[in-house]
Every structure is written in C-alpha cells, then in structure tokens.
Amino acid sequence: MPSSPDGYGPARTTDVAALALDHVDRLIVGTVRDMHRAVASRAFRATRLVGGRVPESVHDAAATSLYGAISGFLRVSSAGVRAMATRGIGRPVESTRRGRQIVAAVNGLIGDELRMLDDPQAIVMAVRKDGVDVPVTGWQVAEAFRGGSSHLVVFLHGLCEDDESWSLGERTRGATYPTRVQAETDGTPVMIRYNTGLHVSENGKHLDVLLQQLVEAWPVAVTRITLVGHSMGGLVARAATNHATASGQSWHHLVRDVVCLGTPHGGAALEKVAHLGSRALRLLPETRPFSTILESRSAGIVDLRHGYISNDEWEGQDLTGQWGLDRIAAAPLPRADYYFVASSLGASERHPLSSVLGDVLVHVSSATGVTRKGPIVQGARSEYVPSAHHFALLNHPRIADLMVGWLNDRASDPPALMAADTDV
C-alpha cells in the first residue's frame, strides 16, 4: 500500500484531493489561461490600429489578475489539504476497491511524476494477496501462500490497472485466470502490482529483483515460472527477463512460459493517435495549450507507443518526437514458450473495425508481435480472439481454456531438468 515518505501513514483521500487541486491549477487553469491569451492576441490585432495597445494592456492586466487569483486560491487550498493529510486526516484511499482503482489509474497517468515528488500515492512494485502487499520474506510469503507449489504463475496487469483487475467479469463467469490456474493446473498464482507510469524498462528491472527475492523466499524449491501479462504487463515481463539475462540473475532460467495478452509489442495504436494529436494541436497558438495536456502523459504511456522494453532504447532520446519503429532486439529465453494473444472488435481480422481499431488500444499485428521487420520473438505462438475488446482479455473463457492447456502441456517436464537449467 502506498505510504508517505514522511512516515505519516498510507495515502489518504486528502492526498488525492491535493493532487487533484494541483493538476486543476496546472493543466486546466493553465490551459484556459494560455488559450485565452492566444485568442486575445489575435483579436487585439485589429484594435491596435485604432486604439494602440491600451485596450490590450487593460485586458491583459485584468486577465492576469483573474487567473492569478484563481491559481493562488487553488495552490493555497492544495497546501491546506496536504497539511491535513500529514496530520492523518482523511480515510486511507486504498481502504476501498474504488480507491485502489483510482490510485492505479493516477499512477498510470502520472506515476513517474508521483515517484519523483515522493507522493504517498506512488505505487511501489510488490507481490499482492487479497488486495494488500506481501513483504517478500520467508515467513510472510509462506503464510500468504500456504500450500504453494513449485510452479509460480506470475500475473502482471496493464496500464492504469492493478492486481485486482484480473477479477473483471468474475461475477458473470464465476472464475478468473488465477482461480482456474489454481484449480486446474499445478501452478500457484502470484499477483504483482506496479506503478504503470514508470518506464517499462524500469519496471522490468524492479520485477527482476522482486522475482529473484520471491524465488529465494518461496517455501518450496521453485522449478518452473510462468509469466502472464496483460497489455503493458507483457512488455514488463519481457523487460524483466531481458534485464535478468544482463544482470546475471538466476530466476529467468526457470521461466517456461511467457503469455502476453493484448500486448503492444509493436506499439499501441491509441498512443500513436495521442502523439499525432499532440503534434497537430501545436500548429495553432489557440490550440497549442491543449497539446500540453496530451504531452503530460507518463513515461509508461509513451513507452507503449514505441513498444520499448530496454532503457537503451530511450535514454538520451526525445521519445515525443519519434514514431517508435526502431527497437533494439531482445533475445527470447531459449527454454521458454511464448504465447501472444490478440483480439479485435470485429468478428474477423479482415473486418473494417479490426483493421482500423484492432481491440481499441492495440492492433492485431502489434499484439501478435509481427512488424514490418519481422516477428518480435521468433517462434512465438499467436492466438486470435474475435469480437473482444482490449479489457476483455483480462478474463476471457477461451483464453482461460488455452492458458490451462498451455500450462498443463509442460507439467510433465522433469523437475530435475528444470532445476538444472539454473546452472546454465
């Protein structure tokens, strides 16, 4: 659970209110002010010929005073509400499911900024059980995962989601991927929550460290790991194995399956639209302020446009000025099977809706890892689910059946052989 760096406890509703006031001041008031100035500047061109700059100066002074007063009020209010939070006033925001959803969404939008400001709402990557963090120590892991098997099935959510997002549709379907994995395979589901506003490569580094700690703390010897990622989660899974290979960690030798659901391996269509929209809004002074709103999106969101999984791909680069076709190749794990699942709104890949919108956020070709330069991962198996939007992939009966089958296909692999791989 996010907590304040000052040690006054978990993030509270007052922290959320203060953050909202800060962004209303910076984005809403700032955008309206800048647009007002641009429109006024164009309008006063005509009056300059008759009345000189006097009417314009009077207008500008009045506008500056008005916007300054509004901004000042919001800043004072934000400071006051934040002071209340430091005194422990306000309900812990993560005490409810809706509160945890808000925290996850905010982290997806501006999580990099929250982390930089040491905001108590910034999520720290953690193993989760029943909606709370599980410290990765021997007795706490053993207590949280009583009867855990030697096969870890690690679930990684997508942008603006959290560990509880996998329960989408549980009431109508009666099951989720984790519950079916628990009941129908030898795997033990492990839920991870992370700050989706950070760079994918940074989350991959954090996951690398976390999984190494988890394997060492697990109550029985781990012989197999399956990584399941929805959307951004699939990129984080690949980033973690890539980082583990470079850092010399041993857990990635245990990975036998990497399942990516609606993952934008070749970039996300909606983020590309946002990128183009931001550029288009900069063409006119009157619309330029709105570009600032689009460009304030997090590093994690920008990474989705490029499909980047390594910091070598973005360090020192102006990501907002690149389309994102050039990526550094990352070698897949030699003993792991890769499964890339795509979906579309249309009933077939050739349906107009499928061709234009994909699953709303990711195109079929990107989700199956096929680009103009060839496949992202050689030998990856791809599956296509028609008439399903992006978030339907969080709990889809056909995918659940496939996942159970994939996990059971390799259940007969000799554990001794798997354990020996750690010496490779």
Helix (H) and strand (E) counts in the chain? 16, 10
> Is 286 inside a domain boundary?
no
> Is 330 inside a domain boundary?
yes
> Is 187 inside a domain boundary?
yes
pLDDT at 329 over 70: no
Regarding predicted confidence, which is higher, 245 or 40? 245
pLDDT digits (tens, 9 = 90+) for 57-72: 777 788 788 868 887 8
pLDDT at 229 over 80: yes
Same domain flag for 64 and 152: no
pLDDT digits (tens, 9 = 90+) for 247-292: 888 999 999 999 999 999 988 765 554 444 444 545 555 444 444 5
Same domain flag for 391 and 244: yes
> Is 114 inside a domain boundary?
no
- Structural domain total, the chain: 2
Give the contacts of 395 (CB within 8 A, at least 6 positions apart).
166, 167, 168, 169, 170, 173, 176, 177
As a whole number of angstroms, the distance between CA 230 and CA 395 comes to 10
Contact 9, 3 (CB under 8 A): yes
pLDDT at 424 over 50: no
Regarding predicted confidence, which is higher, 56 or 36? 56
> Is 279 inside a domain boundary?
no
> Chain centroid to CA 34: how far?
31
Give the contacts of 11 (CB within 8 A, at least 6 positions apart).
1, 2, 3, 4, 92, 93, 94, 103, 119, 120, 121
pLDDT digits (tens, 9 = 90+) for 337-357: 999 999 999 999 989 888 888
Contact 124, 195 (CB under 8 A): yes
pLDDT digits (tens, 9 = 90+) for 167-207: 998 988 899 999 999 999 999 999 999 999 999 999 999 99
Instruction: Say which CATH number the domain at 247 has.
Output: 3.40.50.1820
pLDDT digits (tens, 9 = 90+) for 119-156: 889 999 999 999 999 999 999 999 999 999 999 999 99
Same domain flag for 73 and 145: no
Same domain flag for 147 and 248: yes
What is the average pLDDT score of the chain? 82
Q: Which whole number is the average pLDDT over 207-229? A: 97
- For residue 40, name the pLDDT band (cuts at 50, 70, 90): low
As a whole number of angstroms, the distance between CA 5 and CA 149 comes to 36
Q: Which whole number is the average pLDDT over 153-162? A: 96
Same domain flag for 69 and 141: no
> Is 313 inside a domain boundary?
no
Give the contacts of 83 (CB within 8 A, at least 6 positions apart).
none
pLDDT of residue 155: 98
Give the burial class of 19: count Cβ atoms within 10 A of its Cβ; 0-12 exposed, 13-18 middle, 19 or more buried: buried
- For 73, the domain range is 13-95
Among 49, 77, 95, which residue terminates a domain?
95
> Is 282 inside a domain boundary?
no
Q: Which whole number is the average pLDDT over 312-316? A: 51
Q: Which whole number is the average pLDDT over 219-223? A: 97
- Judged by average pLDDT, the poorest of 254-258, 329-333, 417-421 is 417-421
> Is 293 inside a domain boundary?
no
Same domain flag for 343 and 202: yes
pLDDT digits (tens, 9 = 90+) for 84-113: 888 888 888 898 999 999 999 999 988 999
